[in-house]
Chains A and B, each alone.
Chain A
Amino acid sequence: MLQKPDAAASWNIAAHLGRAILNLLREIGLVTLFLKDMLAQGLTPTFYPRQIADQMLKIGYNSLPVVGLTAFFTGGALALQIYLGSSRFNAESLVASIVALGITRELGPVLAGLMVAGRVGAAIAAELGTMKVTEQIDALVTLATNPFKYLAAPRLIAAVITMPILVAIGDTIGIMGGYIVGTRSLGFNEYAYLKNTADFLKLDDFTSGLIKAAVFGFIIAVMGCYHGFNSRGGAQGVGRATTNAVVSSAILILAANFALTSLLFGD
């Protein structure tokens, strides 16, 4: 390999850091402008109910197996770990309530968010990215149809509506996972386990998770659409857009989760 003459300069850490920060700021600005267009143009008439229904099926219904399995195994593992931990100071009776709290408040929405980011965020970016590089999005414009209304808005609306539903189902399955492990292998009484769960769980625990889920759905749809609409340069560009959509939405989901937890619970 030939060394470029400025190879030494490109190893300058300060230059690297500076460039990374400038790129980050530039990207934040671009996403903000994109978001403005997406909301201003996408969420005003006209709406496409057929597209919204189609996306609800793709984003919500088709994600059910993945979210369900994730929740089930997480609930089971959680029950096992909490049992092992709490048996050190004879607090085994807490298992049911901690599983319920952990699932509804944190693990349910976050894990569902991450799984859906991987599944749906990638699919949105890849589909819109391919439409962009094959000029299908330009074709849409020449057919007097606004791509923000026809492509972005249905995905955004579908993701924000279906994520809380997915998480509600996931929460239930996760608690069931804990229940099955608790009663089958840890020897809890079935009635007592369910009563413990029901007594401890408040509506707030549940709804806070659903609020998080809606926010995560918003993040996934926006990042998928942003990276898809801005992809360029053929197959490689679409691949890059897909990766960026998944990575950026995963990071934003974790950051938003922290912010929402402190907002909803920290008083």
Chain B
Amino acid sequence: MTPHIELKDVRKSFGPKQVLRGLSIAVNKGRSLVVIGGSGTGKSVMLKCILGIIRPDSGEINVGGESVVGLRGTERDQLLLRFGMLFQGSALFDSLSVWENVAFGLTHGRGVARSAARDVAIDKLAQVGLTSDVGALYPAELSGGMQKRVALARAIAADPEIIFFDEPTTGLDPIMADVINNLIVDCVKRLGATTISITHDMASARKIADDIAMIHRGEIIWQGEANQVNRSGNAYVDQFIHGRAEGPIQMDVLRP
């Protein structure tokens, strides 16, 4: 079976800094992959390469068995219509009301009429536990947790076949983080979507993952089923999941 999303030996440098050093990974249809790893290891760049926001220097990226590197114009728009993405800072459009944000992919990307899109938006808001009167508010009037839920509603609004979650629980209190985790699991199950999430929150990773992969210095150094992560036998993974300062991963911190 061809993987739904496949990256082969993807490399990307910014000036002298090599961010991705031959990253390879594959996700099968309907699976939820969580990529864990420290800050600055290339997690976000990996997602942006798949979406074509950043163009890799070399390597292959296939979605549904077809190469997507360097797509332009209509072909690129067609590809992006299959994706939804939840951004770390929510990235809601602050000039638009909540329901217009949720409906944006429908009204702008797909040409759905505003009134029809509004009904879909209200329905999606209900799925993330927000009432229809929230739809009339503006993003700046919402708390961080509510913004995250609106962003989740926006990501799933067009029923995408692939969804990316960029640090979905960062900056939320543990309870709201768990609410978001539950919503992610629910929404993904309902849609049957393939997902890639990146996070450094292990509680979140354990909850939403079918598979876990660890990225370190721009490469995947371990990959396995979520329940195997405690028995990985990999010193890097052990250090990360237990959050120890001592271990093979050295932070760039000046020691006293």
Question: Which residues of B in the span 96-110 have a Cβ within 8 Å of any Cβ on A?
Answer: 104-105, 108-110
List the B residue with the shortest CB-CB distance to A133.
B89
**A138 CB contact (under 8 Å) in B87, B92, B105, B108:** B87
Dominant secondary structure at the B interface = mixed
With A144-B77, A145-B104 in contact, do A139 and B93 touch (Cβ < 8 Å)?
A: yes
Chain B's interface size range is 20 to 34
Q: Which listed segment binds A: B78-86, B127-135, B182-190, B248-256?
A: B78-86
Q: Are A138 and B110 in contact (CB under 8 A)?
A: no
Q: Are B104 and A135 in contact (CB under 8 A)?
A: no
A-B contact count (CB 8 A): 51
| Chain A neighbourhood of B89, CB < 8 A | 134-135
- Residue A142 CB within 8 A of the other chain: yes
Question: Which residues of A in the span 99-156 have a Cβ within 8 Å of any Cβ on B?
Answer: 131, 134-136, 138-146, 150
- Residue B207 CB within 8 A of the other chain: no
Please report the C-alpha to C-alpha distance between residue A139 and residue B95 in the assembled complex, in whole angstroms: 14
Please report the C-alpha to C-alpha distance between residue A48 and residue B53 in the assembled complex, in whole angstroms: 22
Question: Which residues of B in the span 135-169 have a Cβ within 8 Å of any Cβ on A?
Answer: 154, 164
| Chain A neighbourhood of B125, CB < 8 A | none
List the B residue with the shortest CB-CB distance to A138.
B53
Q: Are A141 and B51 in contact (CB under 8 A)?
A: yes
- Residue B91 CB within 8 A of the other chain: yes
**A144 CB contact (under 8 Å) in B48, B88, B110, B164:** B110
| Chain A neighbourhood of B91, CB < 8 A | 134-136, 138-139
Most chain B beta-carbon contacts within 10 A, residue among A138, A140, A145: A138
| Chain A neighbourhood of B77, CB < 8 A | 144, 146
Q: Are A143 and B105 in contact (CB under 8 A)?
A: yes
List the B residue with the shortest CB-CB distance to A143.
B105
| Chain B neighbourhood of A134, CB < 8 A | 89, 91
Most chain B beta-carbon contacts within 10 A, residue among A141, A142, A146: A142
**B109 CB contact (under 8 Å) in A48, A136, A138, A145:** A145
List the B residue with the shortest CB-CB distance to A144.
B109
With A144-B80, A144-B109, A145-B109 in contact, do A138 and B104 touch (Cβ < 8 Å)?
A: no
Binding site for A on B (CB under 8 A): 48, 51-53, 77, 80-81, 83-85, 87-89, 91-94, 104-105, 108-110, 154, 164
Binding site for B on A (CB under 8 A): 48, 131, 134-136, 138-146, 150
